[in-house]
Amino acid sequence: MQLLTGYDGAMNLANTLTIGRLVLAPVFFVLVFLPIWAGVLQVSSVVLLWIIFVIIEVSDAADGKIARSRDEVTDLGKVMDPFADVISRLTYFVAFTAIGIMPAWILLVILYREYGIVFIRLLLIRKGVALAARPGGKIKAVLYAVSGAAGLAMITIQRTGVLPEMFDGLFTFAQIVYVAAALFAIGSFVDYLVIFKRKVAA
């Protein structure tokens, strides 16, 4: 924390919300698996997972707006915000893949895309450029959020036994959303590559 406060006024409200996503992501993961590992919190884990999910997604939508409205946009925030998004959403997807909800190949595509973007950002940082989120990346983020909600809805049905007749339809919907998310992930990666080429050539 002390290191961050010396970095371009980093510890403002927006960046604090961003850090909150980084803290909540592993808590989400543990709550997905705790009923499987220990046989406890079968139903209450669902409530906690939804609360964490909503906090993560709302803070993702809010932190950038707060930073701009308060004139507190920092280079660290430009980098840390998408990093927190990646950590939180990949946490969803790793958990969903491990319990058989998300296909492994989609997780692999998303992992390749996200780590590729991290690599591009690191290269641009060496040139003194902080690459903010792109419009295509924002659409991808919405699909990631919908994917997370669909997976969490299936977990809810499995653990609570509520509306079991909806599970098969929800599973099909989730697979469609997952494929769409993977396709947009690829498309947004190509967009970032184009921007990277322009920045390097500049």
Give the C-alpha separation, 1 to 24, whole Å: 17
Q: What does the pLDDT read at residue 120?
A: 85
| Average pLDDT along the chain | 86
Q: What does the pLDDT read at residue 5?
A: 44
SS3 (DSSP) at 6 = coil
24-28 mean pLDDT: 96
2-201, CATH topology level: Four Helix Bundle (Hemerythrin (Met), subunit A) (1.20.120)
Give the C-alpha separation, 101 to 152, whole Å: 10
**Residue 3 in this model has a pLDDT that exceeds 80:** no
Q: Give pLDDT tens digits for 97-152.
A: 999 999 999 999 999 998 898 888 788 877 777 666 677 667 888 899 999 999 99
**Residue 155 in this model has a pLDDT that exceeds 90:** yes
User: What is the pTM (predicted TM-score) of this model?
Assistant: 0.85
Q: What does the pLDDT read at residue 161?
A: 92
**Are 144 and 174 in contact, with CB atoms under 8 Å apart?**
no
Per DSSP, helices labelled H in the chain are 2-5, 13-38, 44-69, 75-98, 104-126, 135-160, 167-201
**Residue 172 in this model has a pLDDT that exceeds 90:** yes
Give the C-alpha separation, 30 to 52, whole Å: 12
**Are 77 and 18 in contact, with CB atoms under 8 Å apart?**
yes
Give the C-alpha separation, 131 to 186, whole Å: 18
